[in-house]
Chain A
Amino acid sequence: MTHVVTENCNGCRFTDCVATCPVTCFHTDGNMVYIDTESCVDCGACVSACPVDAIYQMFMLPDELTNWIDINREKVAAHPVIKGKHDPLPGAEQRQEALGL
């Protein structure tokens, strides 16, 4: 099993998840974060940390979001690790409100 970051992170990049990850398995392309399935230990801390519910356990992904498994894998291979809490992207709070969260 692993965890997968999905579309709600796009435009937000709050990084509360990164702050709480015990194994620093998050990567970023600047727009959002992605999880490295090889390093993820399935502790689940990131799921409740995310303010916009972007993270799912792989087996709990809704059908319409399963394409994010491949996206996470590709992005992790191409982009560096992110460590610690960073400021969210400009407009993140508005996006959160627009999502109703």
Chain B
Amino acid sequence: MKIAIVGSGPSGFYAADSLLNAEAGFSVDMFEKLPVPFGLVRSGVAPDHPKLKSVISQYEEVASNEAFRFFGNVNIGVDITVDELSEAYSAVIIASGAQADRALGIPGEHLSGSHSARSFVNWYNGHPDFRHETFNLSSEVAVIVGMGNVAMDVARILLKPVDELRTTDIADHALQALADSKVKEVHIIGRRGPAQMKISYKEMCEIATLKNCSVSVADNGLELSAACTAEIESRTNRENSFNLKLLEAQASKSSGDNTRQCIFHFLKRPEQLLGDTKVTGLQLGRNHLVGEAFSQSILESSVLEQIPCGLVFRSVGYKGLPMPGVDFNHDKHCITHSNGRVKPGLYCTGWIKRGPSGVIGTNRADSMETVASLLEDASGLAETDENAVNDLVEKLNRRVSKVVSFSDWQKIDATEKALGEKNFRPRQKLVSVDDMLGCL
């Protein structure tokens, strides 16, 4: 039986791995919108986190299986529909991830200078769709709304000495822009307190050890209520007890050679972005947490304050988009499913299934659950009509300018690595589809 997987990020590859290792002897055709695979491992993981990208060798091993084929530069839902895939293949697994982000829903959000963290991350990672974005790095003050690891990545890339980025795989256009950046003060805003941060201790350590950068907390933000103290002492909140100690220790460090600052604000919500056509400031409102530990809620106070700034990033979550032909839950922004099963023959995995949570490895267990659901249905699935699959591939080759195979990707990969080697970088990314296809 041949299974179609839509998406080539971690969840797609872990699903392929499970299928190829199952006793039933499945084969897998994987479809990817871009000419290049690996999803957020390529376009999400920060350029100064190269070790995390080594997961790619696991995916390359999956791709080397004879029963695996890769079809890049194919947009499922546009070039071919999910229904067309379902007719030809025994089953389809949607692993398309979260292609959008959550808005703050406040006035001024669409002013120039207001961006999603996701667009900044895609831009510095060379995602082709974001290479023309511009960010107001002439503003000395930048504000990030949200306290998760994406917010930390954005802050760190803004505050890190640019020389330390020169030997990474950061996109050239981002390196040039950051070399001229005037940003020296980054504020990070959380609507709740230190006990509720979604920042991993590793990321907090990295911010705290940035060269020439001081880290501080505004307005006695580290004082905890009894309920928050109970939450931070919980065994499921180990990271935050370490994060808190680290932030407390920053206060006693001397400012020395610090030319840049990172300031954490707790219990503040974004009310409004100020300015006419471009952002001139962010108005914040103070919050209180009320209720019992582990079930506290936010009480908004009327106390307001402003941070003058020309650059604001919202980092309040990625968001899934509907796939035409597949039942979608518009409240959760996820595909409607039960243990990964949409209906026999149609499945989902990864962020489009469970929402934008967890780390790379979280997808392995998630995909195993989805494949287990598929295996339960296996006896009722239609045998793959190889002629129908061949017809579909021919249709694709007519509809798409160039369908990229895995060995085609390896040529693009080799080109990027060779370009990077000259400058002691792991690769120099190609950032347009034309340039990627131009290698072939």
On A, residues with C-beta under 8 Å from B are 1, 16, 19-24, 41-49, 53, 57, 59-60, 84-85, 101
Contact = CB atoms under 8 A, between A and B. Distances in A.
Given A23-B57, A43-B55, A45-B360, 11 more contacts: A1-B202, A19-B365, A21-B364, A22-B10, A23-B55, A23-B58, A43-B52, A44-B361, A45-B358, A45-B362, A46-B361
B200 interface: yes
A93 B10 CA distance: 31
A88 B7 CA distance: 33
Contacts of B238: 47, 60
A46 B360 CA distance: 11
Contacts of A43: 52, 55, 359-361
A59 to B, nearest CB: 7
Interface string B38-71: 0000000000000110110110000000000000
B213 interface: no
9 contacts: A20-B361, A21-B361, A22-B55, A43-B52, A43-B55, A44-B200, A44-B361, A45-B358, A60-B201
Contacts of A46: 361
A47 B238 CA distance: 10
A41 B235 contact: no
B361 A22 contact: yes
B418 interface: no
A48 B362 CA distance: 10
Nearest to A100: B235
A42 B10 CA distance: 16
Interface string B352-372: 000000111111110010000
B205 interface: yes
Contacts of A19: 364-365, 368
A59 B54 CA distance: 22
Contacts, number: 65
Given A1-B202, A43-B52, A57-B202, A49 B365 contact: yes
Nearest to A24: B58
Contact of B54 (A20, A23, A44, A49): A23
A93 B202 CA distance: 31
B54 A41 contact: yes
A22 B58 contact: yes
Contacts of A22: 10, 55, 58, 360-361, 363-364
A59 B205 contact: yes
Contacts of B54: 23, 41
A20 B58 contact: no
A15 to B, nearest CB: 11
A57 B204 CA distance: 14
Contacts of A23: 54-55, 57-58, 361
Contacts of B52: 41-43
A1, A24, A41 — most chain B CB neighbours (10 Å): A41
B238, B239, B361 — most chain A CB neighbours (10 Å): B361
Contacts of B239: 60
Contacts of A44: 200, 202, 359, 361
A48 B52 CA distance: 18
Contacts of A84: 21
A57 B57 CA distance: 23
Given A42-B202, A57-B202, A59-B205, A20 B362 contact: yes
A96 to B, nearest CB: 13
A45 B58 contact: no
Interface string B217-249: 000000000000000000110110010000000
Contact of B365 (A20, A41, A47): A20
B57 to A, nearest CB: 8
B365 A57 contact: no
A53 B238 CA distance: 10
A41 to B, nearest CB: 5
Contacts of A45: 358-362, 364-365
A22 B361 CA distance: 4
Contacts of B200: 44
Contacts of A24: 58
A45 B362 CA distance: 6
A23 B14 CA distance: 11
Interface in B127-166: none
Nearest to B242: A60
Nearest to B200: A44
Contacts of B202: 1, 42, 44, 57
B368 A85 contact: yes
Contacts of B205: 59
Q: Please name the 3 residue pairs, one residue from A and one from B, whose CB atoms are nearest each other, closest first.
A: A45-B361, A22-B361, A20-B365
A19 B17 CA distance: 12
A55 to B, nearest CB: 11
A80 to B, nearest CB: 17
